[in-house]
A and B are shown apart, each in its own frame.
Chain A
Amino acid sequence: MIGEYHLDFIPFEDDLLSLELDYTFKELYLDGDYTSIYYAARALMKLQTLFGLFPRVLGKGDCAKHLADMLLRMRREVAVDDPSSTLVVSQNIDSLIIIDRSVDLITPLCTQLTYEGLIDEVFSIRASHVEVDSSIVGPAPQKSAVGAPTSTSTTTTTTPSQPPPQPQAKKKKIALNSGDKLFAQLRDMNFAVVGSVLNRVAKRINDDYEGRHQAKTVAQIREFINKLGGLQSEHQSLRTHTGIAEEIMGVTVTPEFNKSLEVQQNLVAGVDVNTQNDCIEEMINRQVPLVQVLRLLSLQSLVNGGLKQKNFEFFKKEILQTYGFEHLQTLLNLEKLNMFVKQVSTRNPYANIRKSLRLIVDEVEENNPHDISYVYSGYAPLSVRLLQCVVTKGDNGIRNNGWKGYEDVLRMLPGKTFDEVQRKEDSVIRPKRLIQGQQPRVTLIFFLGGCTYTEISAIRFLAQQDDGQREFVIATTQITNGNSLLNSIMQKTEHPGVTAGTL
């Protein structure tokens, strides 16, 4: 007996749902396997039965179009199967926006600079839990106070991009969610300001502890004791995050990190390529992990519409000879995905896109951001800029004018663009927007092929703008970053010693 198990969204936060399908990117774009589109459509269908039809479905990208078509078809099938169960148009959700990962591959390749994003880059977050060395976060108290830790320590032998841990090094699993108030405050911030916030919180907690000296009367003491539990858990969470932040700091001060960050920033900003090439060559010679090299090379290829023939072959040869010939397949995969290719024409769409979508913002205030570009310290994620096209007011003050006004930009990006209106079959008139006033409208955003923590942060930032008139709910097939994205398409090697960095 073979049944069908419907994979559904797993809610991580109030505004974040994930299907946790780790390999959708590879399946969709490399293997051409569309199974995950079907899962995504099922899950979205379920949301529709719960909250009503999405009045409008917009999106960009070929696979996104597939998903939208499938969704519309499923809805018609439901109507045929059971005519009585007509779905009404949702009053809360005003539209569904589907963004295809292939439309914006640049963003995930950049190193994330928000706190949560960096945790993901350094330790990799799995299902909103992170495993770190227990020495980093200090001894755990008996009563675990952090968020909702689901598990105690486990033993693992290796974690990538960490100093070689002692065998049997104790690992501690930490839940990262908004149950931890301090983390909720820190997660979307640029890492540059995390330190000062931690400092401020530490001072405040200290002051609160000092408060006990002022307690004179029995009532005051009781009040303090009542507060104590909260204080202790805050204290523990502070210790955890200070530990993690310190560890990340250890990585971000290394020359390798800064060099590769500098290369990235120059690349996305369109600064002359030749100096970046030297940096990348040096990285290969130093035998840094291949995935880091590929991140930069793919980024370079994407922003320049390919590499010059001479450089292209040079880097390919360097990689094969340094990291092993089996990576020929890796390189072919990247080529197939159009992520690392030879330049065919001098026309470069990215330069135009960068200009028309204002992807590079020079003045960034990490402390007091006024634009989403703060998340990458100057680069605004392309995917989120696209969202902004749809959700911000048009010139005439009317929202929901869809892609209008941005047709030129969209044409430069790969994949189809679409905009469909869903309504009840029998009634042509859309239900009037009645009781609009109080409830903020919700826009559902679906990332097909994964999104990064940084994009989530950027979208949360958008939600705070606009006077809270609009809420965003983010749904995704998985949460990804440059490393996991590339790892999924890299040729796996089994012989020992070939993994870079062993020399």
Chain B
Amino acid sequence: ITILESYEKKDLESKINKLKVALKWYQDDKEHAFEAKAIDENIKLLQAQSQLEKDLNLPLIGLSLSETIHKCITSNNSGKANKLKSDFKIPDKRFWWIKLKALVEMRDWDELDKL
């Protein structure tokens, strides 16, 4: 089960490939439907992050999903943040927490007021 060694891989390409191997393993096993889904999401996150890195010129890979959203907001890319939210089906509650924190950090009181 410890194919999660992929985290040791430095470059993105081999990281994703490793994860795909792990995904196959889990998909073959009905017991581990949750794990399979989680790894699948992880791959999607890495892909999204690499795309965002190109677009925003920010280091994102290695961050968690919430942290990625946080970064998007603090760099004035709320649109991207909203897209991540819907792509990964993030519950509203958590999304607002992240947004709140990010806006406070930026001292963007106007935006905060609008919420």
Contact = CB atoms under 8 A, between A and B. Distances in A.
A265 B42 CA distance: 35
A495 B9 CA distance: 12
A398 B93 CA distance: 60
Contacts of A287: 66
Interface string B91-115: 1011001100110010000000000
Nearest to B45: A325
A328 B65 contact: no
A32 to B, nearest CB: 14
B12 interface: no
A447 to B, nearest CB: 29
A157 to B, nearest CB: 21
Interface centre among A281, A316, A321, A493, by most B CB within 10 Å?
Answer: A321
Chain A contact residues, majority secondary structure: helix
Interface in B75-105: 88, 90-91, 93-94, 97-98, 101-102, 105
Interface string B21-60: 0000000000000110011011001000000000000000
A497 B49 CA distance: 15
B94 A322 contact: yes
A104 to B, nearest CB: 28
B67 A328 contact: no
Contacts of A285: 93-94, 97-98
Contacts of B67: 497-498, 502-503
Contacts of B38: 316-317, 320, 325, 328
Contact of B70 (A320, A332, A503): A503
B39 A328 contact: yes
A164 to B, nearest CB: 16
Contacts of B94: 284-285, 318, 321-322
Nearest to A496: B62
B63 A332 contact: no
A320 to B, nearest CB: 6
B113 to A, nearest CB: 21
A290 to B, nearest CB: 10
Interface in A296-332: 313, 316-318, 320-326, 328-329, 332
A382 B63 CA distance: 39
A284 B38 CA distance: 18
Contacts of B62: 495-498
Contact of A328 (B35, B70, B93): B35
Interface residues of B, number: 28
Nearest to B4: A329
Contacts of A393: none
Contacts of A322: 64-66, 94
A220 to B, nearest CB: 64
Contacts of B4: 326, 328-329, 491
A286 interface: yes
Contacts of B105: 503
Nearest to A328: B38
Nearest to B1: A332
Contacts of B90: 321
Contacts of A494: 7
A493 B34 contact: no
A321 B35 contact: no
A311 to B, nearest CB: 13
A142 B70 CA distance: 49
B93 A493 contact: no
Contact of B93 (A281, A313, A320): A281
**Which among A320, A495, A496 has the greatest number of chain B C-beta atoms within 10 A?**
A320
Contact of B35 (A332, A497, A498): A332
B34 A497 contact: no
A493 B4 CA distance: 12
A431 B90 CA distance: 71
Nearest to B96: A285
A45 to B, nearest CB: 36
Given A281-B93, A322-B65, A332-B1, A493 B88 contact: no
Given A284-B94, A320-B38, A325-B42, 15 more contacts: A285-B93, A285-B97, A287-B66, A317-B38, A321-B66, A322-B66, A325-B64, A326-B7, A328-B35, A491-B4, A494-B7, A495-B62, A497-B67, A503-B70, A503-B101
Interface of B: 1-2, 4, 7, 34-35, 38-39, 41-42, 45, 62-67, 70, 88, 90-91, 93-94, 97-98, 101-102, 105
By Cβ-Cβ distance, the 8 closest A-B pairs, closest first, are A495-B62, A325-B42, A324-B64, A285-B97, A321-B65, A322-B66, A285-B94, A326-B7
24 contacts: A285-B93, A285-B98, A316-B34, A318-B91, A321-B64, A321-B90, A321-B94, A322-B65, A323-B64, A325-B41, A328-B38, A328-B39, A328-B42, A329-B4, A491-B4, A493-B7, A495-B63, A496-B62, A498-B64, A498-B67, A503-B66, A503-B70, A503-B102, A503-B105
